[in-house]
Amino acid sequence: MNNLLNAENQGINLFVIEKSAYQAWFSKQDKHNQTWLTNTNYQGDGLALMSDGQGELSQAVFCVADASDYFACGDLIKQLPQSQFLLQAESEHVAAISFGWLVGAYQYDRYITNKPEKTLASLAINNAEIVASAIKFAQATALTRDLVNTPAADMMPVDIAQAALELAEQFNGEVKQIIGDELLVHNYPTIHAVGRASINTPRLVDLTWGDKSHPQVTLVGKGVCFDSGGLDMKPAAGMRNMKKDMGGAAHVLGLAQLIMAHNLPINLRVLIPAVENAVSSNALRPGDVVTTRKGLTVEIHNTDAEGRLVLCDALAEAENDEPELIIDFATLTGAMRVALGTELAGFFSTNDQVAADITTAGLKNSDPVWRMPLHKPYDDLFKSTIADMTNCPTQPFGGAITAALYLQRFVEKTDWVHFDVMAFNVRHLPGRPLGGEAFGIRAVFDYLQARFK
């Protein structure tokens, strides 16, 4: 990735300008370039390549609607011939262009046997700080995408743990694990209950990094490596892409990489309950009652509402440290996709200012997020006749809200943000291919960077 974006001041001039500025730019070009653009019927939309009259590429122009959109140049790297280009753009747009350039090069090709030779262009930017930051953001995005895209056969709890271990080794962090029946010994009963039916042993992955004297931020990521639905089994169509149900884990690892790579002055903890929701003779059953780490008893109404079960134990543990902030990411409900579609990350927060600041950060860097309400009257929908609560209501309405309300019972004192994300692109957009995607991690990082300076 580093060879695709360079802190240099040489290359073929590449002008990235907004459509509204095209005519002004055109008027400043020499007669040769004006004639070329006119005769090729270029109208100031998309890419145009210009020749020097000898058949050699002399410069290029790429017109976009909004150059501050971090994905506006997301397909540009694949449209240009293999050469080094020197970016010419307004200074306030350079960071966005750099990020879009790099993420546009992303391709998940681990299982392709005959890989085509990559002949991508490179981009030179005369600003080493922007180049270094863009590479860090693109690497975190790629990590998140790679983890989600990897088939479940190669992305089970042990593999999530390995990804955390590799990050810890890279940034001098530490990883501890509680595995299998040890989860019961250490009082993580709901993580164990969901994961016990699989031959892929459930575990709690616990990554720590940073100076203990700094403010603590704890990230929690849902790591359901494959979700069959359990005994309340999903239909085939609903199960097809359930390799992505560990998308929350992928998101917190991507966000953790950003935090550590930028060396933010925080004491970071990352908790990932990693399980497979499988079917076996010892699988969790509808009607069972589980006692959670917090001590609340939960009647299982539906075994396909398993994500909140593994998260609730991890959230209860997260609050033990009394951190400044707890943020969880989860591919938790289809209801959020019904509410907001697949390309907008919904989130809940117990702190209005935190919610407003994360939203503002996302608007600035093309990582939009949308706050949803923690509507407390819906708490009544969790009533059980034999336990403290059920794991989900019997009626389907407001499913994203009720899932968040379930989780909120396990975070009583700490400021908390809960993201319910798709983690997957269902259509190609510039810089965003089909498959795994990172939603909200850049918004959250920019918020954390501004808060903890």
pLDDT in tens, 227-281: 999 999 999 999 999 999 999 999 999 999 999 999 999 999 999 999 999 999 9
Q: How far apart are CA 175 and CA 272, in angstroms?
A: 11
Q: How far apart are CA 212 and CA 190, in angstroms?
A: 29
Catalytic residue among 19, 78, 136, 234: 234
How would residue 55 be classed by pLDDT, with cut points 50, 70 and 90? confident
Amino acid 383: pLDDT: 96
Amino acid 445: pLDDT: 98
**Average pLDDT, stretch 140-157?**
98
Catalytic residue among 294, 308, 409, 451: 308
Tell me: pLDDT of 115 over 90.
no
**Average pLDDT, stretch 354-361?**
98
Report the predicted TM-score, pTM, of the whole model to 2 decimal places: 0.97
Amino acid 1: pLDDT: 66
How would residue 118 be classed by pLDDT, with cut points 50, 70 and 90? confident
Buried b (16+ CB within 10 A) or exposed e, 18-27: beeebeeebe
Q: Provide the percentage of residues in the chain whose pLDDT is more than 70.
A: 100
Amino acid 52: pLDDT: 87
- The mean pLDDT of the chain is 97
Tell me: pLDDT of 183 over 70.
yes
**Average pLDDT, stretch 339-348?**
97
Amino acid 116: pLDDT: 79
**Average pLDDT, stretch 203-228?**
98
Structure tokens at 16: 């990235």
Write down all domains in the chain, each with its CATH number in brackets: 2-126 (3.40.220.10), 136-451 (3.40.630.10)
Tell me: pLDDT of 2 over 80.
no
Q: How far apart are CA 250 and CA 280, in angstroms?
A: 26
**Average pLDDT, stretch 152-165?**
98
- 209, 210, 215, 219 alpha-carbon torsion, rounded to 10°: -20
- Catalytic site residue 234? yes
